[in-house]
Structure 1
């Protein structure tokens, strides 16, 4: 699953998943949509943007952790170099965090 408010980023990430032979199950462009799609598809991997409209990625990560028995790998993506936010993502339960080129 890919969750990012940028159409271009979602398209590139989708291509990467497909090239890597991963099954693409859902995408979302905001935090509210992300959690709804997550509940419907129960993906093994979530590529989750930290900064999204309607609900930020940290909030969505907390919801995923609270509402699932089998935690997927959640890879946080951020254009920010804020070390506090990055550490918080890992502390909450993200598998990893990757910087996104602006």
Structure 2
């Protein structure tokens, strides 16, 4: 069972993601409502995976990604954002994000991204 942190400023999206991920057998250990909180909670919990929104207050998702990656270069982060912010997602991948999810979310895509990032060797063997 993987431990996951969800960072998104929209409480309803955090709740929806948490429900989906926990139904799939993962454990959401913490949530963050902004980028600064995401960095602090990553350091405290060290989850196996982070789902990180690009557009957040206090500190944006790209900056939070940079902080998380500088403290833990092996961190596994999946970025998420609205379609209009695609350039920010590409930038995030260059900065260390392992995958990205576009909003509006599709359950299969979320679970596929999480599975691919958590188990890359299994996915390559298929």
Unaligned runs of 5+ in 1: none
- Cα displacement (A) at 1:23: 1.4
1:40 corresponds to 2:49? no
Deviations 1:30-84 (A, max 9, x none): 1111111111000011000000000000000000110115x23211010143332
Structural RMSD (CA): 1.4
> 1:10 & 1:89 partners in 2: Cα distance?
20
Q: Which protein is bigger by CA-based radius of gyration?
A: 2
Q: Which range is displaced more, 79-88 or 33-42?
A: 79-88
What is residue 85 of structure 2 aligned with on the other side?
A: 82
TM-score, scaled relative to structure 2: 0.75
Runs of 4+ residues deviating >2 angstroms: 80-84
Q: 2:6·2:17 contact (CA, 8 Å) conserved in 1? A: yes
1:99 corresponds to 2:94? no
Q: 2:54·2:89 contact (CA, 8 Å) conserved in 1? A: no
1:66 corresponds to 2:75? no
Say which SS state the counterpart of residue 78 (structure 1) adopts.
strand
